Amino acid sequence: MGLIRAVFDAAFRQGGGQRLKPVGPRWPLLLFHVDTGGCGGCGMELEALSAGPYDLEGAGFGFVQTPRSADVLLVTGPLTRTMAPVLEAAWQAMPKPKGLISVGGCAMDGGYFSENYAVLGGLDRKASIDLVIPGCPPSPQQVLDGLCSLFGQPPRPVSGAQAEGSSSTSS
C-alpha cells in the first residue's frame, strides 16, 4: 500500500499539503477485476457496486475491460492453478505504477479453499498486496470504503433506497 499511497500523495497534493480532488489521466482510478476462482460472491458484490446506488465514479473509481488501461488490479477468489497464468498476464499488461487489491478472505489467504492440487491459496504469501478488503463476501459499501481509504477519504454514505433498505425496523 506504500507505493500507491506515495503515488497518490505526490500526484494529488499541491501547495501547503492540502488534499485536492485528483485530476488528469489517472483520475478516476481505473480498476480491473480478475476472479481467480471460488464461489463468485465477491464478484457479485463488485457488480452491485458498479451498478447500484454507491456512486463508484463519484468516489473516483471506475472499472475497465482490459488490464492495459487499469491502474489497480482487484482480485477476488482463491488463486487456482488454472488462473495463476491469467492473473500474471493481467499484472504484466498493466502500466506502471500499478497496485494490487485483494477483495474478500479467499483472495487474501484462501478462505474456505485450502491449498491442494487445484488451489494455490490466497495472495498473501505470493504477492505484495497494497490493500486488503476483508469479508466473505465484503458488502459493496465495505469495498467502496476500502477503496476510499487509499485516498484517505472518510467512508461515503450510501444514497437513497439502499440506505432505507439496509435499516432494521424489527422490534
pLDDT in tens, 58-78: 888 889 999 999 999 999 999
Domains and CATH numbers, the chain: 31-151 (3.40.50.12280)
Average pLDDT, the chain: 78
Please state which of the ranges 1-10, 17-26, 32-41, 101-110 shows the lowest mean pLDDT: 17-26
* The three three-digit cell numbers of residue 132, written as one number: 486488503
pLDDT band at 19 (very low <50, low <70, confident <90, very high): very low
- The Cα 99–Cα 7 span in angstroms is 10
pLDDT band at 126 (very low <50, low <70, confident <90, very high): confident
Tally Cβ neighbours within 10 Å of residue 163. Answer: 12
> What is the pTM (predicted TM-score) of this model?
0.74
Which tops the pLDDT comparison, 98 or 167?
A: 98
Measured in degrees and rounded to the nearest 5, phi and psi for residue 76 equal: -125, 150
